[in-house]
Amino acid sequence: MRKYFGTDGVRGRANGVITPELALKVGQAAGVVFQRGDHRHRVVIGKDTRLSGYMIETALVAGFTSVGMDVLLLGPMPTPAVAMLTRSMRADLGVMISASHNPFEDNGIKLFGPDGFKLNDEVELEIEALLDGGDLRKKLAGSRDLGRAKRIESVHARYIEFAKRTLPRHVTLEGLRVVVDCANGAAYRVAPETLWELGAEVISIGVEPDGFNINHDVGSTAPAALVNKVRELRADVGIALDGDADRVLIVDEKGQKVDGDQLMAVVARSWKEDERLTQPGLVATIMSNLGLERYVNGLGLNLARTAVGDRYVLEHMREHGYNLGGEQSGHIIMSDYATTGDGLVAALQLLSVVKRQERPVSEVCHCFEPLPQILKNVRFRSGEPLRADSVVTAIAQAKDRLGASGRLVIRPSGTEPVIRVMAEGDDRDLVNAVVDEVVDAVTRAAA
């Protein structure tokens, strides 16, 4: 069991869970673990636009420099940009300070290895061992060996050029009116500039961060503002990123939302036609809609499923040679381009299909009809209600009732004392009924 690291780094309330003391120790411990070889070691640090980013950034700098690591400060940058720059700048370690789609009160610390990939469980456990049991004072560098820190100003242009190069040279976005919602987050500069430089007419919202308004009524988790703006301006497409821009939600010209499942379907179909898939299929989580699975099966492709979390999708992709995967929430991973989810690059891939087919976004993105999917949460105080005989029986009966026409997924949350009960199938009434029955059983067992 991991004490500090969750499914996506260390995350919690700023100055509650994520304190300067913890950030300092994370910097020291991670710096010790990644000082391999006799070269001068360095780490790149990016962040989103939360007020607490200043505090955490400063503490991390103190931690890394105290164990002899040089620090390159990137300022507000998307998570996928930090991953890319970790490799591009030959850093030993990359850090993103962000709590993604969470409100401004939260923050987090995501770590990337020198290859730009998120750390695996073994490395995170090695860092945790130093945080808890190791005497970090013994690892401090001598006075002459302390690290240096400096701010890098040119990184925005590097990421914009990287994003543009993911499209073929002959593809432009000329003729497209695009509304982009940057969630008042990390992509508030780079996303609009990238789209404009590719030729689109760009209308930007969520690009006035003040330290407090990240994800507040804007972004991929609150798309109402984007939907209204697309309809108001009769735009061709809307693009909503989250606070650190590693996920995306699309709004078509009619104001209808397009989730990650539909985006994966579009890219899978396009890449299959272009013979770009490295395996005959893609990777998604257990939460992706059964409609996606049926659709890709109809294309002659398979859908591999993993636990919830883009890190698990990526691990399966790397282990089995897939180059496309993602989550229903909009984390789309295209390993030909990036080592993590990249909301902007995913949006560009969609727009390239729209331009090539010369069809509206609503037609391009409507690949399948999602099956009715119901998700309910059951909060509990202690114990293991899923082990209760009554719950085990209720789950077995629910699966029998759904049969081959549906799916049932029950999983504990990785971040709070909540059990999530999800079912989907062709019959909405049946799906509702089995979810209610399982929720009732779990609730009584948790009482």
- Per the annotation, where are the binding residues for Mg(2+)? 100, 242, 244, 246
| Among the listed residues 109, 364, 332, the one whose alpha carbon sits nearest the alpha carbon of residue 241 | 332
Cβ neighbors of 125 (< 8 A, separation 6 or more) are: 2
The span from the CA of 66 to the CA of 26, in Å, is: 12
108, β-bridge pairs = 11
Residues annotated within the binding site are: 100, 242, 244, 246
- Sheet architecture: strand order including 373-379: 373-379, 418-425, 406-412
Backbone phi, then psi, for 154, in 5-degree steps? -95, 5
Which tokens go with 150? Answer: 């400096």
**Chain centroid to CA 232:** 29
**335 labelled catalytic:** no
Is residue 212 within 8 Å of 51, Cβ to Cβ? yes
Amino acid at 237: V
Assign residue 57 a region (left: φ > 0; alpha: ψ between -120 and 50; beta: otherwise): alpha
The span from the CA of 301 to the CA of 313, in Å, is: 17
409: DSSP letter: E
The active-site residue out of 100, 220, 270, 352 is 100
Is residue 13 within 8 Å of 50, Cβ to Cβ? no
The full DSSP string for 233-300 is HT-SEEEEE-TTSS-EEEE-TTS-EE-HHHHHHHHHHHHHHTT--SSSEEEEETTS-HHHHHHHHHTT
Within 13 A of 241's CA, how many CA atoms are on the CB side? 36
The span from the CA of 291 to the CA of 215, in Å, is: 29
118: DSSP letter: B
| Among the listed residues 267, 290, 281, 292, the one whose alpha carbon sits nearest the alpha carbon of residue 316 | 281
Cβ neighbors of 164 (< 8 A, separation 6 or more) are: 194, 197, 198
The residues that are catalytic are 100
